[in-house]
Amino acid sequence: MNATPGPSGLHDPLTLPCGQVLPNRIMKSAMSEALGTKGNAPDGRLDRLYATWGQGGYGLLVTGNVMVDRAQLGEPGNLVIEDERDLDALTRWAKSAHGGGAPIWVQLNHPGRQSNPLALGHTPVAPSPIPLNLPGAATPRELTPVEIEDIIERFATAAAVCETAGFDGVQVHGAHGYLVAQFLSPLANRRTDEWGGDPQRRMRFVLEVVRRIRSRVSPGFAVGIKLNSADFQRGGFTEDESRAVVAALAGEGLDMIEISGGSYESPAMTGSAAASTRAREAYFLDYARTVRDLAGDLPLAVTGGFRTRAGMAAAVESGECDVVGIARPTATTTDAAAAILSGQAEVLTAHQVRAGMRGVLGKITDLKALDGLLDIGWHADQLHRVGAGRQPDPRRGRLATTAALLRRNGRATFRPKRGR
């Protein structure tokens, strides 16, 4: 299935199980753009942003999370696909990204209990009525079996619309504490029916979502998933449970599993991760090694912490992963893949924004969560600049970032939200 490795491996194409060919092994991973219209449709800003990334030399582009229900948003500015009402705009978006020849996949998501209260206007939903372990988090309403079935169908409908619009695939967001990850986590899923109670029943939701999507799209349309290695919380979703999910997914007609980790209660996937985690070249590569045999011929992508050309090449050349995912560096270096592949850059610049007045703020709020919010907001600001036809601004400060967060999200700014 895989192309024969070359001198570095990063330049080599990769043929996916569905027959789709990635021109190289560097993927632009998902970041939440929050660039939807008031009606949750894509507009010219997204076209411009993805046209820019489309010329950046990537082997695959994965969009920021697109919600499957207008009543369940992660944040203001989310895109939503429920039906074909925005098909023309979606088609333009897909076409804008294809200029450089790379496929583009839409990341499909449901926030569950990580929804934005300001955007919702009502109580969020989740597998069980357990709120996030963060200040001010709302207690969600437990989903009924009928509602669970409706959400599964929504994922499949959205995928079918994406194929009609000209996208090359979809990625199910099964990580970072969103609904799919909530079903997998024993902390968030305390159900005792067919959707919870033990690891096998907790993984039923993700298996049904994948099966339903695959049944509704053509054989050549790619279906992937972003999966947590663990959620890094005591009593939560463990690496052993994650390995069991990988083994189950390996037989479901997927085209790629992207490995990530953490949630907004324990943000291992952002710059607010522990220093020991950030020090590693790739946060989740050790875990990827342990599931290589379980995945079989199913390609693995690893995202989180890749910054050097040597580290990326070694990960692919060794076979520990098939694709390297990069996210935050692409916000300020939009052609990061081309820079790495051409040898123009040996190291990608990563920016991290942290809250000031730490001694004071640390007494009244969770600094780790606040740092994660500011860091993601800072990178979202860069995407908004590119979408507006401007250059990224690496010197942008935290005060400007805070003001932009307040302007976009109002009182919900410091609620748990956002996703990659």
Q: Which residues pair with 323 in a beta bridge?
A: 301
Is 50 exceeded by the pLDDT of residue 382? Answer: yes
Q: pTM above the 0.75 mark? A: yes
Across the chain, mean pLDDT equals: 87
Predicted local confidence at residue 304, as pLDDT: 87
Compute the average pLDDT of residues 159-166: 98
Kindly report the number of other CB atoms within 10 A of residue 390's CB atom: 11
The predicted pLDDT at position 356 comes to: 61
pLDDT-derived band at 376, boundaries 50, 70, 90: confident
> Residue 414 has what pLDDT?
45
Measure the CA–CA gap between 339 and 345, rounded to whole angstroms. Answer: 5
Nearest-CA neighbor of 173 among 233, 120, 112? 112
pLDDT at residue 361, rounded to an integer:
56
Percent of the chain at pLDDT > 90 equals: 67
132, 114 Cβ separation under 8 angstroms: yes
Most confident of 81-90, 252-261, 294-303: 81-90
Res 120 pLDDT > 50: no
Which comes out higher in pLDDT, residue 197 or 266?
197
Q: Taking Cα atoms as reference points, which of 110, 79, 76 lies closest to residue 411?
A: 76
- State how far the alpha carbon of 411 is from the alpha carbons of 112, 119, 172, 255, 385, in Å: 20, 11, 29, 40, 23
What is the rounded CA–CA span in Å between residue 170 and residue 33? 17
State residue 358's pLDDT score: 59
* Pairwise pLDDT comparison (235 vs 246), residue with the higher score: 246
**16-50 pLDDT tens trace:** 999 999 999 999 999 999 999 999 999 999 999 99
- Continuous segment of H or E residues that includes residue 375: helix 367-387
Quick: pLDDT tens for 313-371. Answer: 999 999 999 999 999 999 999 999 999 999 999 999 888 777 665 555 555 556 676 77
Residue 401 binned pLDDT confidence (cut-offs 50, 70, 90) = confident
- State percent of the chain over pLDDT 70: 83
Could you give all domains of the chain from N- to C-terminal order, each with its CATH number?
A: 14-349 (3.20.20.70)
What confidence category does residue 279 fall into, taking pLDDT thresholds of 50, 70 and 90?
very low
Q: Which of 346, 257, 261, 331 is nearest to 297 (CA)?
A: 257
